[in-house]
Chain A
Amino acid sequence: MPSDAGRPAGRRAAGLRATLYQILVVLLLVGLAAWMTETARRAMQQRGIASGFDFLLDRAGFAIGHAFFAFSPDDTYLQAFVVGLGNTLVVAAAGLVTASLLGTVLGLSRLSGNWLLARAAGAYVELFRNTPQLVQIVFWYALFTLLPGPRQAMSLGDLAFFSNRGLLVPWPAEPVVLAVALLLLVPGAALGFWVLRWSDRRRRRGRATPAPLALAGLAALALPLAFWLAVGAPAGWSVPVLRGFNFAGGLALSPEFLALYFGLSFYIAAFVAEIVRAGILSVGRGQIEAAQAVGLPRTELYRRIVFPQALRVIVPPLAAQYISLVKNSSLGVAIGYPDLFSITNTVLTLSGHTIEAIAIMALVYLSLALTIGALADIVNRAVRIRER
Chain B
Amino acid sequence: MATLSCRSFAKTSDGAPPRLPPPVARGPVGWLRRNLLASPFDAAVTLLLALAIAWFVPRAFAWALTDAVFWAPDGAACRGAAGACWAVIGEKYRLILFGTYPYEEQWRGAVVVAIFVAMIGFSAIGGISVRVKLAAWALASVATLVLLLGGVFGLSPVRTHLWGGLPLTIVIFVSTVAGGLPLAVLLALGRQSTMPAIRAISVGVIEVVRGLPLIAVLFVASLVFPLFVPPELQVDKLIRAIIGMIIFFGAYAAEIVRGGLQAIPAGQHEAAKALGLGYGLRMRLVVLPQALALVVPALLNDIIRAFKNTTFVAILGLFDVLGAAKVALEDPVWVRYAPEVYIFVFILYLLFCLAFSRQGMAVERRLAVRRR
Contacts and interface: CB of A to CB of B under 8 A. Distances in A.
Interface of A: 18, 21-23, 25-26, 29, 36-37, 39-40, 43-44, 112-117, 120, 126-127, 129-136, 138-139, 142-143, 146, 323, 327-328, 330-331, 333-334, 341, 345, 348, 354-355, 358, 361-362, 365-366, 369-370
A37 B230 CA distance: 11
Nearest to A21: B195
Nearest to A332: B215
Contacts of A36: 228-229
B215 A341 contact: yes
B34 A18 contact: no
Contacts of A358: 216, 219-220, 223-224
Contacts of A126: 354
15 contacts: A43-B230, A120-B49, A129-B353, A130-B353, A132-B309, A135-B346, A138-B326, A139-B342, A333-B315, A334-B314, A358-B219, A362-B208, A365-B211, A365-B213, A369-B210
A22 B213 CA distance: 30
B171 to A, nearest CB: 17
A131 B310 CA distance: 11
B198 interface: yes
A39 B230 contact: yes
B308 A132 contact: yes
Given A36-B229, A40-B228, A116-B46, A22 B311 contact: no
A364 to B, nearest CB: 10
A354 B220 CA distance: 9
A120 B214 CA distance: 32
A133 B308 contact: yes
Interface stretch (B15-23, B35-43, B114-122, B283-291): B35-43
Contacts of A117: 45-46, 49
Contacts of B196: 22
B216 A341 contact: yes
A362 B304 CA distance: 26
Nearest to B46: A116
Interface string B219-258: 1100110011110000000000000000000000000000
A365 to B, nearest CB: 6
B322 A135 contact: yes
Given A114-B36, A130-B350, A354-B223, A135 B342 contact: yes
A132 B322 contact: yes
Given A39-B228, A365-B212, A138 B322 contact: yes
A142 B350 contact: no
Nearest to B223: A354
Given A22-B197, A115-B35, A135 B349 contact: yes
Interface in B299-331: 304, 308-312, 314-315, 322, 326
Q: Is the interface of A mostly helix, strand, loop or mixed?
A: helix
A44 B346 contact: no
Nearest to B31: A115
A292 B342 CA distance: 49
B357 interface: yes
Nearest to B354: A130
Given A131-B353, A142-B338, A39 B216 contact: no
B50 interface: yes
Given A43-B230, A132-B309, 7 more contacts: A36-B229, A127-B350, A130-B350, A131-B346, A327-B214, A330-B213, A345-B219
A331 B215 contact: yes
B36 A116 contact: yes
Contacts of B46: 114, 116-117
B345 interface: yes
A110 B319 CA distance: 38
A139 B196 CA distance: 48
A85 B310 CA distance: 26
B227 A44 contact: yes
A104 to B, nearest CB: 16
A40 B35 CA distance: 67
Contacts of B345: 135
B194 interface: yes
Interface in B66-84: none
Contact of B339 (A116, A143, A334): A143
B357 A130 contact: yes
A153 B27 CA distance: 50
B339 A142 contact: yes
A131 B198 contact: no
Contacts of A143: 339
Given A333-B315, A366-B208, A113 B195 contact: no
Contacts of A348: 223
A387 to B, nearest CB: 20
A133 B304 CA distance: 12
Contacts of B42: 112-114
Contacts of A132: 308-311, 322, 349
Contacts of A112: 42, 45
A37 B228 CA distance: 6
B36 A29 contact: no
Interface string B350-365: 1001100100000000
B211 A370 contact: yes
Contacts of A369: 210-212
Contacts of A21: 195, 198
B128 interface: no
Contact of A341 (B213, B227, B311, B339): B213
A327 B212 contact: yes
B50 A116 contact: yes
B213 A328 contact: yes
Contacts of B194: 18
B201 interface: yes
Contacts of B229: 36, 39
B57 to A, nearest CB: 12
A338 B27 CA distance: 58
Contacts of A116: 35-36, 45-46, 49-50
B14 to A, nearest CB: 27
Contact of A139 (B50, B53, B346): B346
Contacts of B311: 132, 134-135
Given A134-B311, A333-B315, A146 B35 contact: no
A374 B3 CA distance: 65
Given A22-B195, A114-B45, A127-B350, A327 B213 contact: yes
B336 interface: yes
